[in-house]
Amino acid sequence: MTRDEILALKPGSGLDVLAAEKTLRFPAPAYSSDIRAAWELVDELHERGMWLSINTLTNVIHVNADSDRPYLRSVTSRPMRLVALSVGESVPHSICLAFLLAMEEQPMG
């Protein structure tokens, strides 16, 4: 899918299934509407060496990568690369979109 196609996806089972296909978790949890389920996607990104910056007021999500110690990057000012940026209707929706964008940028390998 293209970036624009992903960002146009609305919360719901269709989006949840797309995320589940990347995590291989079925049946698909309500990633795009339930923060607990969405946090599984955050954990999946962390396992792949990516980290998120979440603004809960605007629902903006940044996904960054390229650090050997991602949790310390903001403290150490190490160079980073923006992998994905999303804005959704809610934080879970934004996380789900950011996850799909990041998986398109850095697929499993």
Sketch the domain layout of the chain as residue ranges.
Answer: 3-105
Structurally, at CATH architecture level, domain 3-105 sits in 2-Layer Sandwich (3.30)
Give the pTM.
0.81
Q: What is the mean pLDDT of the chain?
A: 82
Query: What are the C-alpha distances in Å from 94 to residues 25, 78, 87?
Result: 19, 25, 5
The span from the CA of 91 to the CA of 69, in Å, is 25
Q: Given pLDDT bands bounded at 50, 70 and 90, which one contains residue 93?
A: very high
Residue reference for tokens 């994905």:
84
Radius of gyration for the chain, computed over Cα atoms and rounded to the nearest angstrom? 13
User: What pLDDT shows up at residue 64?
Assistant: 75
pLDDT mean over 1-18: 95
The least confident of 8-17, 33-42, 70-79, 90-99 is: 70-79
